């Protein structure tokens, strides 16, 4: 039988053993029957040494005036020692096969904080990801404030993010795709009224792949020549969009790779924008806009038709068609800034211009989506989009 050693001071060097670790000797690995009542810590440690067959090295000053709650039952030596030291402010470690006691790490309560400490049992914390197009994707991409989420969610992102919602597009109808981002700070586009293409500029940078322009997360920068996208453009129809998500500045996610200026993602409409709730099995949407007489300024027709169906609870289909017919721009005839400023000398002398020729657009777009929801956030989607 080994007796407990009370030392005036102990200089111990070793590796701290976690409380739940198994002891390193054969006696520690086995279980023992312990019957140690609550008493002073020095007496409890003496009983522990006799009942476990282990030797405990302590500093007499460290255990003076300390009490132990005791331990009873069959268990391993390390479990019994943990219970003996509960509430004493001491912990233990193994040093060359001997158990050495030392003060436990200082806690907030020991440092003068009188707030009580509560030990909690096992807790389970659950959360729910925002559905639909709202919120942020698992890859960190920006949401679009769709039916299941509001555009205010972008303010939770610690970066420069803007979202143009469908409501904002309808409030100021876009004559050209560049009009969609006209009010976004730090973002503009080189506008050519003779070309419906879009080339986004973020904070003075564009082309050469500096801006990642996407449709539903798929890069669309059109390479017009052989200089690595020098005049990178894309074509998009505002009628078939549900939102535009813009991130200014570089990002470390999949959409920001190689795009030092930022990214722009044009989100197209989906079955959830046509169907009214999960109970609907089929739905349709018609939109049409035209100019009125001389005030129309060349807006002959802007409109779209879309139909969607839910075949099963996890299979959805949608098809949409859009047409934009915009005539030449009329500069007007009233005021000092009217016809007088639109004259030039041609081969036959002075010619007065009342319309800007070749400013008209006739654009037809089609969009087909098929979506298969697999569950647990996994979706397989087929998207076909054409522009003419």
Whether pTM exceeds 0.75:
no
Residues 164 and 217 in one domain: yes
Instruction: Spell out the long-range contacts of 103-107 with Cβ–Cβ below 8 A and sequence spacing 24 or more.
Output: 103/62
In sequence order, what are the residues at sequence separation of 6 or more whose Cβ sits closer than 8 angstroms to the Cβ of residue 165? 144, 145, 151, 243
In this prediction, residues 102-113 reach a mean pLDDT of 60
pLDDT of residue 110: 47
Asked if residue 113 is part of any domain, the answer here is: no
* Average pLDDT, rounded, for the chain: 73
Asked if residue 239 is part of any domain, the answer here is: yes
Q: Are 320 and 238 in contact (CB under 8 A)?
A: no
For residues 374 and 117, the model is more confident at 374
Residues 299 and 339 in one domain: yes
Asked if residue 216 is part of any domain, the answer here is: yes
pLDDT of residue 20: 35
Over residues 180-196, the pLDDT tens digits come to 888 888 888 877 766 77
pLDDT of residue 339: 46
CATH number of the structural domain spanning residue 71: 3.55.50.30
Looking at the DSSP bridge assignments, the partners of residue 362 are 325
pLDDT of residue 33: 85
Residues 89 and 206 in one domain: no
pLDDT of residue 151: 57
Residues 158 and 183 in one domain: yes
In sequence order, what are the residues at sequence separation of 6 or more whose Cβ sits closer than 8 angstroms to the Cβ of residue 240? 268, 269, 304, 320, 322, 365, 367
In this prediction, residues 171-186 reach a mean pLDDT of 84
Residues 153 and 166 in one domain: yes
pLDDT of residue 19: 39
For residues 331 and 46, the model is more confident at 46
Over residues 25-48, the pLDDT tens digits come to 444 457 888 888 888 888 888 888
Asked if residue 45 is part of any domain, the answer here is: yes
pLDDT of residue 371: 92
Looking at 268, 300, 322, the residue that finishes a domain is: 268
Residues 169 and 251 in one domain: yes
Poorest-pLDDT segment among 8-22, 39-53, 219-233, 245-259: 8-22
Question: Positive or negative CA dihedral for 107, 113, 116, 121?
Answer: negative
CA 155-157-158 angle, to 5 degrees, is 110
In this prediction, residues 212-225 reach a mean pLDDT of 75
Residues 260 and 331 in one domain: no
pLDDT over threshold 80, residue 143: no
Asked if residue 124 is part of any domain, the answer here is: no
Q: Could you give the CA distance from residue 131 to residue 90 in angstroms, rounded to a whole number?
A: 50
pLDDT of residue 354: 61
Asked if residue 120 is part of any domain, the answer here is: no
Q: Could you give the CA distance from residue 48 to residue 379 in angstroms, rounded to a whole number?
A: 61
In sequence order, what are the residues at sequence separation of 6 or more whose Cβ sits closer than 8 angstroms to the Cβ of residue 214? 220, 255, 263, 264, 265, 266
What percentage of the chain exceeds 90 in pLDDT?
A: 9
pLDDT over threshold 80, residue 350: no
CATH number of the structural domain spanning residue 260: 2.170.130.10
CB-based burial label for 273 (10 Å; 0-12, 13-18, 19+): buried
The torsion angles phi and psi of 60, rounded to 5 degrees, stand at -55, -35
Poorest-pLDDT segment among 27-36, 124-133, 183-192, 243-252: 124-133
pLDDT of residue 213: 86
- Here the tokens at position 81 are 């020692």
The confidence band for 7, taking pLDDT boundaries of 50, 70 and 90, is very low
Residues 32 and 90 in one domain: yes
Residues 140 and 158 in one domain: yes
**Which has the closest alpha carbon to 146: 280, 241, 218?**
241
Asked if residue 185 is part of any domain, the answer here is: yes
In this prediction, residues 11-19 reach a mean pLDDT of 35
pLDDT of residue 222: 54
pLDDT of residue 50: 85
Asked if residue 118 is part of any domain, the answer here is: no
Over residues 287-311, the pLDDT tens digits come to 888 876 555 566 788 889 999 999 9
Distance linking the first and last C-alpha atoms of the chain: 95
Residues 245 and 369 in one domain: no
Can you give the residue range of the structural domain that contains 251? Answer: 132-268
pLDDT of residue 237: 87
pLDDT of residue 209: 77
Residues 245 and 308 in one domain: no
Residues 149 and 240 in one domain: yes
Number of domains in the chain: 3
């Amino acid at each position: 039988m080994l007796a407990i050693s009370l030392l005036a001071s102990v200089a111990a060097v070793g590796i701290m053993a976690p409380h739940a670790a198994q002891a390193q000797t054969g006696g520690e690995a086995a279980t023992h029957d312990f019957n140690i009542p609550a008493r002073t810590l020095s007496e409890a440690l003496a009983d522990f040494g006799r009942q476990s067959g282990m030797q405990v090295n302590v500093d007499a000053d460290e255990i003076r005036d300390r009490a132990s709650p005791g331990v009873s039952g069959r268990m391993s030596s390390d479990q019994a020692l943990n219970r003996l030291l509960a509430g004493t402010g001491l912990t233990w470690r193994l040093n060359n096969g001997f158990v050495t006691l030392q003060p436990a790490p200082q806690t907030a309560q020991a440092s003068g904080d009188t707030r009580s400490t509560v030990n909690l049992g096992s807790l389970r914390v659950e959360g729910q990801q925002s559905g639909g197009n709202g919120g942020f994707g698992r890859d960190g991409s920006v949401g679009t404030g769709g039916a299941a989420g509001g555009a205010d969610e972008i303010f939770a992102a610690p970066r420069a993010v803007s979202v143009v919602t469908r409501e904002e597009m309808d409030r100021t109808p876009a004559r050209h795709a560049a009009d969609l981002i006209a009010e976004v700070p730090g973002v503009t586009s080189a506008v050519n009224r003779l070309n419906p293409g879009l080339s986004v500029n973020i904070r003075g940078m564009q082309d050469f792949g500096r801006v990642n322009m996407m449709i539903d997360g798929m890069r669309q920068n059109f390479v017009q020549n052989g200089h690595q996208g020098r005049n990178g453009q894309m074509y998009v129809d505002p009628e078939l969009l549900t939102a535009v998500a813009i991130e200014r500045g570089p990002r470390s996610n999949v959409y920001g790779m190689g795009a030092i200026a930022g990214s722009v993602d044009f989100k197209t409409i989906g079955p959830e924008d046509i169907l009214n709730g999960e109970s609907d099995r089929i739905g349709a949407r018609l939109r049409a806009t035209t100019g009125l007489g001389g005030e129309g300024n060349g807006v002959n027709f802007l409109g779209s038709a879309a139909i969607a169906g839910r075949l099963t609870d996890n299979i959805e289909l949608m098809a949409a068609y859009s047409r934009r017919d915009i005539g030449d721009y009329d500069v007007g005839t009233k005021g000092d800034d009217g016809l007088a400023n639109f004259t030039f000398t041609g081969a036959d002398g002075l010619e007065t211009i009342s319309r800007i020729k070749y400013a008209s657009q006739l654009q037809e777009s089609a969009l087909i989506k098929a979506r298969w929801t697999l569950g647990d956030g996994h979706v397989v989607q087929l998207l076909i989009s054409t522009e003419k």
